[in-house]
Amino acid sequence: MDNQTKRLIDERAREKLDEVRPKMEEYDMSITDLGPFLLELFRTVYGLRVNCSYDIHACLIVYGRENAKTEIWVYYDPEKSDGDSLAEDFIQDFVNGLDARGLRPLQFQVLCKMRYGTGGDDFDSYSEPIGKAGGLDVVASLGTIPKDHPLNCGWFRSVEGNDGPMDEDLEDLYYYD
């Protein structure tokens, strides 16, 4: 990835954080605690987006005080991309990025949902638990989100600024799966 693409990714990540900020304020969440974590998430998602032909959706979910995760939804064409590799690389890049910045959180799980086609058999999830290391307790930071109510981090478009319509297949999968 060249320097110009990296700069675009950083710029888009900051823009996405600004987009999510009002929702965080609505839940009375601390942008100071979660801001660097979300920036790393967004950078990694855009890095994945550069290598994927389709839109991506991300959300943060808390299922109680001891369970938080991020879900990244990707709709892909298996003839053009390797979904297993994309998901594994995404998770590894995200964890590595958190480690590099001392942000690896407590009790957190990354889930990458890769889907193609229209049948139920075309669905795969890959998750990586992030163990107790580092100083950021994401669950506590997200604790003000109502149970089972995600912090919707929104749709991720190409860093090149693809202005086309959202991928309807992915929207259907995310909202109705």
- Spell out the residues 6+ positions from residue 155 whose beta carbon is closer than 8 angstroms to its own: 55, 56, 57, 166
pLDDT band at 14 (very low <50, low <70, confident <90, very high): very high
Give the pLDDT confidence of 23-63 residue by residue, as tens digits: 888 777 766 778 888 888 888 888 888 777 677 888 887 77
Residue numbers of the domain that contains 58? 3-176
CA 31 – CA 35 distance, rounded (Å): 5
pTM for the structure as a whole: 0.78
pLDDT in tens, 68-115: 777 888 777 767 777 778 888 888 888 888 888 877 776 677 778 777
Are 95 and 128 within 8 A, CB to CB? yes
Q: How many domains does the chain have?
A: 1
DSSP state of 165: -
Q: What is the mean pLDDT of residues 7-26?
A: 87
